[in-house]
Amino acid sequence: MADTPAQNAAETIAVIGAGKVGRALARRAAVAGFLVVLEDLIPTSLEAARREIRQFLDDAVSSGLLDLAGADRAFARIDCVTTIEDAARRAHIVMETGPDEFESKLEMFCLLDRICLPGTVIISNCHALELSDTAAKAESIVGMYFSGDPLSGEQAEIHCSAFTSATALAVAERLATRMASSYHITRDTSSATA
Interaxial angle between packed helices 43-62 and 20-31, expressed in degrees from 0 to 180 and rounded to the nearest 10:
50
Name which residue leads in pLDDT, 143 or 132.
Answer: 143
Between CA 30 and CA 46 the distance in angstroms is 15
How many CB atoms neighbour CB 77 within 10 A? 20
Phi-psi group of 33: left, alpha or beta (phi > 0 → left; psi -120 to 50 → alpha; rest → beta): left
- The answer to whether 68 touches 74, Cβ cutoff 8 Å, is no
Nearest to 27 by CA among 13, 42, 11, 10: 13
Give me the CATH number covering residue 15.
3.40.50.720
- Written in H, E and C, the secondary structure of 110-177 is HHHHHHCCCCCEEEECCCCCCHHHHCCCHHHEEEEEEEEECCCEEEEEEEECCCCCHHHHHHHHHHHH
pLDDT, tens only, 76-86:
999 999 999 99
Q: How confident is the model at residue 116 (pLDDT cuts 50, 70, 90)?
A: very high
pLDDT, tens only, 44-95:
999 999 999 999 999 999 999 999 999 999 999 999 999 999 999 999 999 9
> What is the edge-to-edge ordering of all strands in the sheet holding 121-124?
78-81, 35-39, 12-16, 93-96, 121-124, 141-149, 153-160, 182-187
Q: Is the pLDDT of residue 176 over 90?
A: yes
Range of the domain at 91: 5-193
- The answer to whether 91 touches 37, Cβ cutoff 8 Å, is yes
Q: Is the pLDDT of residue 9 over 90?
A: no
Q: Under 8 Å CB-to-CB from 119, ≥6 apart: which residues?
A: 92, 140
Composition of the chain by helix, strand, coil, percent to 5:
45, 25, 30
Most distant CA atoms of the chain, gap in Å = 50
Number of domains in the chain: 1
Between CA 54 and CA 59 the distance in angstroms is 9
Q: Which of 11-20, 81-90, 105-114, 176-185 has the lowest mean pLDDT?
A: 105-114
pLDDT of residue 139: 87
pLDDT of residue 190: 58
